Amino acid sequence: MNIQFCTNKHSVNLVLAGLFYLFISSTCRAQDTPPADKNAIAFYNDGLAALREKNFKSGFIKLDSAYMLATQENNAEVLGLAKKNVIFAAFNYGNELLKSKNAKDALGIYQRGLAIDESSSLMHQGIGKAKEDLGDAEGAAKSYVTALESAKTEKDEKKITDAQTRVKNLLIKQLQAKAYSKVIKIGTDYLAIDNVSSIAYLVGKAYADKGDNTNGIKYLLQTVELSNAEGEKIEDKVYYGLGMAYDAVKDSKNAIKYLSMVTEPKYKPSATATIAKLKSSK
């Protein structure tokens, strides 16, 4: 068998939603290789061709085959290239499956990608999305946290923000479903590794909505502290939540203090009415 490696370097730029790029530093060609007896190089090139056509399913299958054969053949060059590109293909193919409401198969694709590169933040993110679609909120959150940690290791700010946003959106959905215990468990676990105001607020609101206003106040005050430390604008929903929680525990002084800070039309009428009630009862 006569195998010839090309010396030309290519830069292939396949983009999904304008965010992810295909990593190709070189392409290889197999000459005089019978189609019925393809080796790692042949599968690799076929996989790249499929990705250029944005056929992510075919690209994933062929690149996965290239990776396995390169391992068997001890072909370090193809192994490295296939590893990078099979992750790209797995992420995009998995996303296609999620869009078609096939979270179970998507999870399998992401898990295969993770078996190839256990440090891939994209695979952890994908697993989180699939688990969320399958109704496993806590499992999804754990995968998002792992994705966050991997993104921090990669020093990729965009991936860090993506992971943080996914946890936040997951908690919002759980809060809307009145799954307060899940919000509290997931949120407090998350705050232990990434102490951010948006998550502290959701935990505080979950406690307050559940009727535990003492803990609600604790986390809402933490939200204020974190926002001030980061130079963030404190949203009226935080002041309103604090005011109503203090009212619930019969602390009219602090209730009036925080409700008086509310200016947003969404909360202002209720805040004003509560202040009037508290002042008239003195």
SS3 per-residue string spanning 52-104: HCCCHHHHHHHHHHHHHHHHHHCCHHHHHHHHHHHHHHHHHHHHHHHHCCCHH
Q: Which residue has the higher pLDDT, 132 or 17?
A: 132
Average pLDDT over residues 20-39: 43
Nearest C-alpha neighbor of 117 from the set 73, 75, 81, 161: 81
Dihedral (C-alpha) 171, 173, 178, 180: value to the nearest 10 degrees?
Answer: -10
Q: What is the pLDDT of residue 37?
A: 62
How far is Cα 145 from Cα 160, in angstroms, rounded to an integer? 10
Average pLDDT over residues 121-142: 96
- Given a cut of 60, is residue 120 above it in pLDDT? yes
Q: Are 31 and 3 in contact (CB under 8 A)?
A: yes
What are the φ/ψ torsions at residue 30 (nearest 5 degrees)?
-105, 125
pLDDT band at residue 10 under the 50/70/90 scheme: very low
How far is Cα 177 from Cα 200, in angstroms, rounded to an integer? 18
State the average pLDDT for the chain.
Answer: 88
What are the φ/ψ torsions at residue 3 (nearest 5 degrees)?
-105, 125
Domains along the chain with CATH numbers:
195-282 (1.25.40.10)
pTM for the complete prediction?
A: 0.79
Q: Could you report the per-residue pLDDT of 41-74, keeping only the tens digit for each?
A: 999 999 999 999 999 999 999 999 999 999 999 9
Instruction: Sort strands 3-5 and 28-30 into parallel, antiparallel or unpaired.
Output: antiparallel
Please give the structure tokens belonging to residue 181: 């215990």
Q: What is the pLDDT of residue 15?
A: 32
Average pLDDT over residues 61-89: 93
Q: What is the pLDDT of residue 38?
A: 79
- Given a cut of 90, is residue 28 above it in pLDDT? no
Q: What is the pLDDT of residue 143?
A: 96
Q: Could you report the per-residue pLDDT of 157-177, keeping only the tens digit for each?
A: 999 999 999 999 999 999 999
